[in-house]
Amino acid sequence: MTFSPHIIKELLQSSDHQLKELKETYALLPETRCRRKAQCCSMLPEMTLVEALPVIRRLVEMAAATRNRLIKKIIGHFFLNPVEITLCPFLEGQECLIYPDRFFGCRSYGLWSPAHYETLAARDRRAKKHLQEQWKSLGVCLPKKVVDFQVPYCLCVETNGPVIIDDKILVQASDTIEAISAGFSSWHQLFGQRYFSDLSFLLSALMFGHIAAVQMKFTLVRYIVNTKNRTRLDRIIQELPDLCAMLT
Ligand code: SF4
């Protein structure tokens, strides 16, 4: 079982209720500002399926030139993220191009207590270590600076006005979003388990097929680690067709 453009189209057409619930849950979180604007957007956050869908819809509705540029960045991110800190593909200059639909991970960043953030960071470190070992077992040694990279805890995020927000409220919001997404039943599980909650994986798999995207990633990452040469990848990205045309 894998996602196809047809399945994504069906999910987009039948998800108004879930997307409304997602918006209502996002609205429980305070608006924030940060003087280090966008400096923390150094990676594409993990997300649930229900968070990915409005972003796909936004991409589909963008002007063709903009969405094609963005999709090329997202797919480039999928292939390059084991070897480079690529920044979040939605970041342009200091602006997030999908700000109204940004993910829970973006909205909650800087609002967690330092202790809870450290728990999340420790889980992330374990996942990266595991990933590094998997690549190693395939004969590819990922760059240490990428494996060790973590977004530091941010003390610069402030809420707009006095708002009570704590870990309990954030965990509740996160659980609610998970429950809304679980309404997509097996598609929700599939996105977490076979696509690792990664929109860049989903879009790359829609473009090339799930197995082909994984095989291409392995070949390209091994080649780039060994040669430091990105020409092959750049050529593939340059020639990508308009994915969103398949989703309309
Ligand atoms: S989606 Fe937007 S807010 Fe979130 S990390 Fe990317 S650029 Fe930053």
Instruction: Write the pLDDT tens digit of every residue in 161-174.
Output: 778 889 999 999 99
In a domain, 146, yes or no: no
Interatomic CA distance for residues 42 and 109, integer angstroms = 12
Q: Identify whether 233 is part of a domain.
A: yes
For atom 5 of ligand 1, the residue with the nearest CA is 41
Tens-digit pLDDT profile for residues 62-104? 999 999 999 999 999 999 999 998 889 999 988 899 999 999 9
Measured in angstroms, how far is the CA atom of residue 42 from the centroid of ligand 1? 8
Q: Is residue 224 part of a domain?
A: yes
The residue whose CA has the least distance to atom 2 of ligand 1 is 96
- Taking Cα atoms as reference points, which of 91, 95, 35, 90 lies closest to residue 203? 90
* Residue 106 Cα to ligand 1 middle (Å): 6
**pTM as predicted:** 0.92
Asked whether residue 40 is assigned to any structural domain, the reply reads yes
Q: Is the pLDDT of residue 37 over 80?
A: no
Q: Looking at residue 13, what is its pLDDT?
A: 93
Does 30 fall in a domain? yes
Q: Which domain holds residue 16?
A: 5-112+159-239
Q: Does the Cβ of 157 fall within 6 Å of ligand 1? A: no
- The answer to whether residue 132 sits within a structural domain is no
- Compute how many other C-beta atoms are within 10 angstroms of the C-beta atom of residue 55: 19
State the distance from the centre of ligand 1 to the C-alpha of 198, rounded, in angstroms: 13
Q: Is residue 134 part of a domain?
A: no
In the chain, the number of structural domains is 1
- Angle in degrees, CA 145, 133, 86, rounded to 5: 35
Higher pLDDT, 243 or 210: 210
